[in-house]
Amino acid sequence: MAKAKKTAFFCQNCGYESAKWMGQCPACREWNTFVEEPTAAKTPAGTQGIGNHSAAGRKPVHLTEISTGKEERIPTGIGELDRVLGGGIVPGSLTLVGGDPGIGKSTLLLQVCRMLSTAGHQVLYISGEESLRQIKLRAVRIGEFNENLSLLCETNLDIIRAVMEKEKPEMAVIDSIQTMYNEEVSSAPGSVSQVRESTNVLMQIAKGMGISIFIVGHVTKDGNVAGPRVLEHMVDTVLYFEGDRHASYRILRGVKNRFGSTNEIGVFEMQTEGLVEVKNPSEYMLNGRPEGASGSVVACSMEGTRPILIEIQALVCHSNFGIPRRTAAGCDFNRVNLLMAVLEKRARVNLSTSDAYVNIAGGIKMNEPAIDLGIALAVVSSYKDQVIDEKTVVFGEVGLSGEVRAVSMAEQRVLEAKKLGFERVILPAVCMKSVEKIGGIALIPVENIQDAILRVGKN
C-alpha cells in the first residue's frame, strides 16, 4: 500500500505550522486562519542555503572585508519609483509589489522593464497568468521595446531557475507569485506552502546570482498580500499600490524597505499609454477644488521628505436621530471623533446633536497628526457655515487640551504653500522660529484651537 501523504495545518496569516487544527493561531492571535496542506519534502542536509553552497565550505567573513562596489543602485528611469525604492534598484534584492486587481502592478513593472532594457540592462519578464501574445498587446500600448527584454510564460520554478542560470539577466519580474509552484511541494499553486517555498527559491536565486527580482502579489479583500505574512518578512522591499482603480491616480507606498525609507510615496496617473509620473502631487490633489464652499480647508502633510497639500472636506448637519452619525474617509475615524470631542470641550462647539462627515478629497489616505488642525477647522467651518479663505493653508497637531503642537519640517510645508500661490499659513506658534525668515507669505501663529478658529475667520 502507498504511504499516505503527511499533512499539517498552516496559518494563512503568519505561516505558523501546527500538527492539528486550532481555532486561534497562537502566533498572530487571528481566528479561523488554519488550512490543511501537505507538508513539503525534506531537502537533504547541505543543499540548502543562499547560493547553493555546501555547509562544509562556509566560514564567517569580517565586515571590513566585504566590498559593496561603486554601482550600488540601478536607476529605473521612473523618478517616482526610484524615490520609493530609495534611489533605485539594489542588485540582488527581492521586491514584492502588491495591490488590488487592475490597479496597474503589471503595467508599472512592464514600464520598468522597458526603461531598463532601453538603458542596456538584460531583463527577463516571467508571467504565469498571461500568454506571450497578451503581454505583447500590452507592451505595444506602452511603447517600443528592444531585444534586451525577454519574455517567458512558465510556472515551474525548476524551469525558471534553469532559464535564469542560462540567461543571467540583471533583473527579473515574476507575475505573479500565486501562480508559481515548486515540484517538491505537493499542494496546489497559491497555497500557503507553495507561496512560502516559491518565495524561498526566488530569494536564493536573487541572493546567490545577484539578480534583482520583482514579485507581483495578489491581495485579499482586506488589502493584504494573499498568503502568509511571512512572505513580507522574506523579501527586502514591500510596495503597495493604493487608490481607486476606477480613478486615474495611483499611489505607490513603501511598507518595508531594507535599503531606504518607508515614508516615501510615488504618485502616478493612469493614462492610455500606461502610468505617468505626477511630479507635483499637491497641484494634482487640489485640482477641481470648489470656490466659496464652507467646510473646505487646505492642509499640508509630509510623506517622507515630500510635502503634499490636500483638501480636507467636512459636512456637519443636524441629526434626526438620538445618536449622531460620524463618517471619515481618507483619515483615521477615531482621530476625527477625538478632535470633535476636543472642539466640544475646549472651543464650546456643540456637535453632540450633529452628523459629521469628513473626507480627504482625491481618495488619498493620510494619518499624519499635522492634519489635525485642518480637520478641526473644516468641521467648525461647516458647522458655522463660514467659508475659509481659499488662499489659506493650515497645519498643526491638536492635543487633548486644545493646544496646537509643533510638527516636523515646518519650513518645507510653508515653502510648498508659497510655491503653489497660497497667501496665508496658519501654523503652530512654536514652529515660528524655523519659518520666520521666509518672506512673500503671511504667517499666522496660533497656540490653541480657540485662537485658530478666531484667526481663520479674519479674511
The CATH code of the domain that includes 235 is: 3.40.50.300
Q: Is residue 59, in this structure, part of any structural domain at all?
A: no
pTM of the model: 0.77
Asked if 141 and 235 sit in the same domain, the reply is yes
Asked if 117 and 243 sit in the same domain, the reply is yes
Asked if 189 and 80 sit in the same domain, the reply is yes
Cell numbers given for 369: 497628526
254, 279, 304 - which closes a domain? 279
Rg (alpha carbons) of the chain, rounded to whole number: 26
Beta bridge partners of 89: 74
> Is 227 annotated as a binding-site member?
no
Q: Is residue 274, in this structure, part of any structural domain at all?
A: yes
Q: Is residue 46, in this structure, part of any structural domain at all?
A: no
258, 279, 300 - which closes a domain? 279
Q: Identify the DSSP state of 64.
A: G
Q: How many domains are contained in the chain?
A: 3
> Is 402 annotated as a binding-site member?
no
Q: Is residue 122, in this structure, part of any structural domain at all?
A: yes
**What SS3 class is residue 205?**
helix
- State how far the alpha carbon of 250 is from the alpha carbons of 4, 81, 98, 246, in Å: 49, 12, 13, 10
What distance in Å separates the CA atoms of residue 442 and residue 393, rounded to the nearest whole number? 10
Q: Is residue 413, in this structure, part of any structural domain at all?
A: yes
> Is 99 annotated as a binding-site member?
yes
**What SS3 class is residue 197?**
helix
Q: Is residue 53, in this structure, part of any structural domain at all?
A: no
In angstroms, how far is CA 300 from the centroid of its own chain?
Answer: 19
Q: What is the reported pLDDT for 46? A: 44
Asked if 389 and 253 sit in the same domain, the reply is no
Rounded to 5 degrees, φ, ψ at 159 are -70, -40
> Is 106 annotated as a binding-site member?
yes
Q: What is the pLDDT of residues 400-429, one digit of tens each?
A: 999 999 999 999 999 999 999 999 999 999
> Is 142 annotated as a binding-site member?
no
What distance in Å separates the CA atoms of residue 376 and residue 344, rounded to the nearest whole number? 11
Q: Specify the amino acid at residue 221.
A: K
Which is nearest to 346 in space by CA: 288, 404, 304, 274?
A: 404
Q: Is residue 66, in this structure, part of any structural domain at all?
A: no
Which is nearest to 158 in space by CA: 181, 126, 176?
A: 181
Q: Specify the amino acid at residue 51.
A: G
Asked if 103 and 234 sit in the same domain, the reply is yes
Which is nearest to 51 in space by CA: 204, 225, 280?
A: 204
Q: Which residues of the chain fall short of a pLDDT of 70?
A: 1-5, 40-57, 68-71, 220-229, 245-246, 458-459
Which is nearest to 302 in space by CA: 235, 375, 366?
A: 366
Per-position b or e across 49-69, b if 16+ CB within 10 A of its CB: eeeeeeeeeeeeeeeeeeeee
What distance in Å separates the CA atoms of residue 145 and residue 91, rounded to the nearest whole number? 22
Contacts of 314 (CB under 8 A, 6+ apart): 295, 297, 356, 357, 358, 359, 375, 378, 379, 381, 382
Which is nearest to 114 in space by CA: 77, 85, 79?
A: 77
Contacts of 288-296 with C-beta under 8 Å, sequence gap 24+, read 289/361, 289/390, 291/390, 292/387, 292/390, 293/387, 294/381, 294/382, 294/384, 294/385, 294/386, 294/387, 294/388, 295/378, 295/379, 295/381, 295/382, 296/378, 296/381, 296/388, 296/390
Domain extent, residue 22, equals: 7-38
> Is 100 annotated as a binding-site member?
yes
Q: Is residue 93, in this structure, part of any structural domain at all?
A: yes
Asked if 301 and 439 sit in the same domain, the reply is yes
Asked if 120 and 266 sit in the same domain, the reply is yes
Q: What is the pLDDT of residues 260-310, one digit of tens each?
A: 888 788 989 888 888 999 888 888 888 888 888 999 999 999 987 889 999
Asked if 301 and 196 sit in the same domain, the reply is no
Q: What is the reported pLDDT for 5? A: 65
